[in-house]
Structure 1
Amino acid sequence: MPPVTQPSYQQLQARVAELEALLTEREDIAQANNKLLGQLVDSSLANVFAADRKMRLVAINRTARETFQRLRGFVPQIGDYIPQFLANQPDIMGRLAPVWPRLLAGEAFIDTISLGPPDDLRHYVIRYNPLRDEQQRIQGGYMFAYDITERVAEQERLRQTEEALRQSQKMEAVGQLTGGIAHDFNNLLGSMLGALELAEQRLGQQRYFDTARMLDVGKHNALRAASLVQRLLAFSRQQTLLAQPVDVQLLVADMNDLIRSSIDSHIDFQDLTQAGLWSICIDPQQLENALLNLCINARDAMPLGGTLRIGCENAELDKDQASSMDLPSGQFLHIRVDDTGIGMSKDIMQRALDPFFTTKPMGQGTGLGLSMVYGFVRQSGGQLRIDSTPGQGTTVHLYLPRDESITPPAPCVAPEEILEKPQHRPYRIMLVEDQATMRLVLSEVLQELGHEVQVCEDGLSAFNALREGPLPDLLITDVGLPGGIDGQQLAGAYRSLASEAPVILITGYDITSSVASSLPAGPTEVLCKPFELKALAQRIDRLLGVNAYLR
């Protein structure tokens, strides 16, 4: 075996120098890499912070320093104690305090927060992570905060634009209803005037049975007119509602007068919806809007007359059926809107759901109706399909998922008639109404019920009467009053003197609007003009705990 040759001293020195150069090169690369990473973090759009276990700042990037300087007027420094420099920034400290223990426990998570004054909120998405050393021991925490204020503002602008489009489409439909509504009202008013004139004649002839019959005709037509106004108000108002369980048969039944007013007299409307079918969870007003738009489209497709039908049925979709409609398998309510109109060609049918596409003449449609119905149905978890044959008609199919979470409320049942008027102590009631005829009628009714009535013509005189006392047991007031004080303000003043005082608000607008929402808590009833006098008596009984119904 040949002898092993030991390296010379010079060779060892050269090898050591080589290794040192390699080590230096790696250290330079590492330093350069760290410097580059530092520059990248410093220039990041994110606000970057890091703190040790004692909540002392160990790192902050340039974006975060500039953000603090711009929005808070100071710049945190490395080594600063976070609770100390945030002592005058309670909105930030209040958000940080609950998350710090989670970081020290090793949890990584994402949060979305809003900071700043209400008129200048800034919105952030924050990624929290524990800060670990080489042995993976937790030494603190760090966070990347991304300012998404502009994104939130853009989403809000988009939401407002969509809402404006939706309301525009609603108002277009309301505009198209005007002719039919005017026609129906002229008929109703004509029959009311005729019935009242006949009643006056029959009364002079002492034909009391015929007088009562004519008065009943006038009352019936007045109620029909009131119902039509309420449907129109409910349909046209601009309000975003939450989805709720809906019985489509009841919803369409409520829409019948509105639909008949929107179509021509030579079109036969048939409501084929059925009771007892599955309910759906949906925004009822948007569904009304969708169905009415489909009915108006059907009307325009039948210029020479025809038949319009709305029907519904339960539909159990298996996997293949649901997949063909881009839906999950399951239970759906299938709503059909059929017409016997001119129909659509395949080319038009393929474009029918495109926004702004319309076959109507200029100025007679925006082309948004079907596209917005489609968008609403898809957002509600359903699907819309169109079948159409030129010259034979069109069917629009809506598939909406069954709601099984809540049992639909039972229909309201009229209170049982009481044959004899029970005795009760007279209550003191303040009536505030600016219309002389209505004031006279209501005052007579309240006295007939056995109550003591204090009548005021405007909000200011009623307000002064409340201050002077004695306080009434019940306030009945119109919402729209002259005198500088409206009904809601008057009710608020009444409640400030007696916190649980009962109030009945009377309004000429939609009864479902939140006219009482701004009042302090307390028993409140809302009556929408016009109303039956018995309804007023029932509201009084409910609030005062008596059973004196008007006969």
Structure 2
Amino acid sequence: MQALNQELSNRVDKEQANSKLLGELVDHSLANVFAADRSFRLLAINRTAQETFKRLRGFVPKVGDYIPQFLSGQQDIKRQLDPLWPRVLAGEAFVQTIALGNSQALRHYEIRYNPLRDAQQQIQGGYLFAYDITERVAEHERLREIENALRQSQKMEAIGQLTGGIAHDFNNLLGSILAALEVATERQAQQRYPEATRLLAIARQDSKRAASMVQRLLAFARQQILIPQTTDVHQLVAGMHDLIKRSLHEDIHFVDQTLADQWLIAIDPPQLESALLNLCINARDAMPLGGELAICCANTPLNQAQARVLDLPAGDYLQIRISDNGIGMTDDTAQRALEPFFTTKPLGQGSGLGLSIVYGFIRQSGGQLQINSAPGHGTRIDLYLPRKSAAIVTPPEPHQPTPAKTECTPRLIMLMEDQVNLRLVIEEVLQELGHDVRTFVDGRSALAACQEGLRPDLLVTDIELPGDIDGRQLAAALPEEVPVLYITGYSEDQADVKPSKHSSVLCKPFSLALLSEQIENLLANLHPPQ
């Protein structure tokens, strides 16, 4: 009996020591640990959780406290806990990531919820382990920002490559426009009106081409959030022809071998454009003596074995191939080509980020990039992107307004535009429509006129103006019911103006018919003049 008692005592001592050790481990854990019964009474709380509450909330919960009572002033916690606790009492174990606190001191937690069962497996309450992952979330955000900055940097590097070609094309277009206008003026003076009309049409056509080039370049350069969309690669590449050709040497022949009606993919279109353009620029640099650059794509089902080689799930993929017959790469260069900052170009002629950023983007989009190259035999880069079965939405054709034919009610219009020639043309159009126009060259003089009693029926203003008063500030100084037509040399989304029945945005260059239509629409919402 004495031996049995001693053995039992030793076991009790070991159990107590084990429980004490477990208690110490839980108490000093990095996790915030809580346990509560079915009546929401706190059964246990570790030291980390008490210190967290004291540091962030200014009080320390204790065993026996009624949870709804001490959380009554902590609405952010209560709001997160209320819908989750019934799931725990129902026997569910799950993980939830939440954010607590205000926007200036937001904390992120990964919380693991579990039901608390007795020896008969009856649920008596629940417990949770809350891990502070704020630093991890912040690090992910920093990495995302760095990645976006690298993408934008590479995009701007590509635009630098385009600059020479863009300047060349612009000079050609401007030369054509100026020459056509000069000769048209002479033909008008000679009363040779049909020839003058034909020359003016040439100038108008080349002006539209120049405007389209600027808008295309602005759209490409713009920094955007990644937004995957259902995309037809054939249509996307067709829209890139001008950008690609202007980035190549004259002795490089570009061939678009993509086909219509191939599989659609879900991807961010501007980022895919950026990736393809960078691959084309790399191909150009690999063909200093000229050659052929081709882009093609093919529907490619991958079985288990083929997909395993590419580190992809089996399934349907669109394979986009960019190939050149340039100098090619050695095996060592091809193996290192995807490394960040690796480049074979001379110092100052490349960042070494192009292929690595393209690779990262393709992988994020669920695809793969594969390089096949050999010295003297050119390079082939294959992009595998997962098929998207949803139908693509074709954007509507741009609306082509016709000049207004009907007479409109005369209104008082304030016009603010610092470009003299454009201001004179707009003023001419507004007066032709029968309106009373007051023109200003800067925001300060326009604001002074309003302060002296000028009350326009409509404000037509450029957004960016010289001086310390811009178009938005002037609009804000006018009565709320005064409609505003904003004019900008940037794209509509960069103007940061939300169109409504009281405001609209007109991007330069614009047709006079569209100007008339916009003004008519804004004035139509006004009350009839008294």
1:282-336, Cα deviation, whole Å (9 max, x unpaired): 1111111111101111111111122222233433444554444333344333322
Specify which of 490, 512, 518 is matched with residue 509 of structure 1. Answer: 490
Structure 2 unaligned segments of length 5 or more: list them.
526-530
Change (3 A) 1:331 1:493: farther
1:406-437, Cα deviation, whole Å (9 max, x unpaired): 4322451544868x824554566544323232
> Partner amino acid for 2:50?
R
Larger radius of gyration: 1
1:39-59, Cα deviation, whole Å (9 max, x unpaired): 011000001112222222221
Whole-angstrom distance in 1 between the partners of 2:328 and 2:177: 40
Specify which of 432, 440, 448 is matched with residue 432 of structure 2. Answer: 448
Specify which of 249, 255, 261 is matched with residue 276 of structure 1. Answer: 261
- Aligned counterparts, 1:244-393, within 5 A: 244-393=229-378
Structure 1 unaligned segments of length 5 or more: list them.
1-14, 547-551
Whole-angstrom distance in 1 between the partners of 2:206 and 2:309: 49
Change (3 A) 1:542 1:409: farther
Tell which deviates more after alignment, 71-80 or 266-275.
266-275
Whole-angstrom distance in 1 between the partners of 2:335 and 2:85: 56
Residue number in structure 2 paired with 1:5: none
Change (3 A) 1:140 1:410: same
Specify which of 18, 22, 27 is matched with residue 3 of structure 2. Answer: 18
Q: Secondary structure at the match of 1:98?
A: coil
Residue number in structure 1 paired with 2:71: 86
Change (3 A) 1:137 1:469: farther
Do the aligned partners of 1:46 and 1:145 also contact (CA within 8 Å) in 2?
A: yes
Specify which of 460, 479, 489 is matched with residue 476 of structure 1. Answer: 460
- Aligned counterparts, 1:536-547, within 5 A: 536-540=515-519
Do the aligned partners of 1:430 and 1:454 also contact (CA within 8 Å) in 2?
A: yes
1:2-38, Cα deviation, whole Å (9 max, x unpaired): xxxxxxxxxxxxx2x3333232222222211111111
Change (3 A) 1:40 1:509: same
1:132-166, Cα deviation, whole Å (9 max, x unpaired): 33333333222111001111111111112212221
Question: How far is the alpha carbon of 1:269 from its aligned partner?
Answer: 2.5
Whole-angstrom distance in 2 between the partners of 1:248 and 1:523: 38
Q: Secondary structure at the match of 1:408?
A: coil
Do the aligned partners of 2:295 and 2:321 also contact (CA within 8 Å) in 1?
A: yes
Whole-angstrom distance in 2 between the partners of 1:221 and 1:111: 59
Does residue 487 of structure 1 match 2:471? yes
Change (3 A) 1:60 1:463: farther
Change (3 A) 1:207 1:338: farther
Change (3 A) 1:152 1:308: same
Whole-angstrom distance in 2 between the partners of 1:134 and 1:56: 20
Q: Secondary structure at the match of 1:505?
A: strand
Question: How far is the alpha carbon of 1:63 from its aligned partner?
Answer: 0.6
Do the aligned partners of 2:34 and 2:46 also contact (CA within 8 Å) in 1?
A: yes
Do the aligned partners of 2:45 and 2:63 also contact (CA within 8 Å) in 1?
A: yes
Change (3 A) 1:327 1:543: farther
Whole-angstrom distance in 2 between the partners of 1:230 and 1:512: 12
Q: How many residues align?
A: 524
Change (3 A) 1:77 1:411: same
Whole-angstrom distance in 2 between the partners of 1:411 and 1:277: 21
Question: How far is the alpha carbon of 1:226 from its aligned partner?
Answer: 1.8
Does residue 437 of structure 1 match 2:416? no
Q: Secondary structure at the match of 2:240?
A: helix
Whole-angstrom distance in 2 between the partners of 1:49 and 1:435: 68
Do the aligned partners of 2:501 and 2:522 also contact (CA within 8 Å) in 1?
A: no
Do the aligned partners of 2:232 and 2:392 also contact (CA within 8 Å) in 1?
A: no
TM-score of the pair, normalised by structure 2 = 0.89
Does residue 197 of structure 1 match 2:178? no
Residue number in structure 2 paired with 1:534: 513
Change (3 A) 1:492 1:372: same
Whole-angstrom distance in 2 between the partners of 1:428 and 1:281: 50
> Partner amino acid for 1:272?
Q
Residue number in structure 2 paired with 1:9: none
Change (3 A) 1:117 1:291: same
1:324-356, Cα deviation, whole Å (9 max, x unpaired): 433334433332222232222333223322222
Tell which deviates more after alignment, 66-75 or 346-355.
346-355
Residue number in structure 2 paired with 1:8: none
Whole-angstrom distance in 2 between the partners of 1:407 and 1:281: 10
Residue number in structure 1 paired with 2:201: 216
Whole-angstrom distance in 2 between the partners of 1:388 and 1:256: 25
Change (3 A) 1:237 1:100: same
TM-score of the pair, normalised by structure 1 = 0.86
Does residue 73 of structure 1 match 2:58? yes
Do the aligned partners of 1:199 and 1:211 also contact (CA within 8 Å) in 2?
A: yes
> Partner amino acid for 1:87?
S
Residue number in structure 1 paired with 2:96: 111
Residue number in structure 1 paired with 2:141: 156
Do the aligned partners of 1:86 and 1:93 also contact (CA within 8 Å) in 2?
A: yes
Do the aligned partners of 1:231 and 1:255 also contact (CA within 8 Å) in 2?
A: no
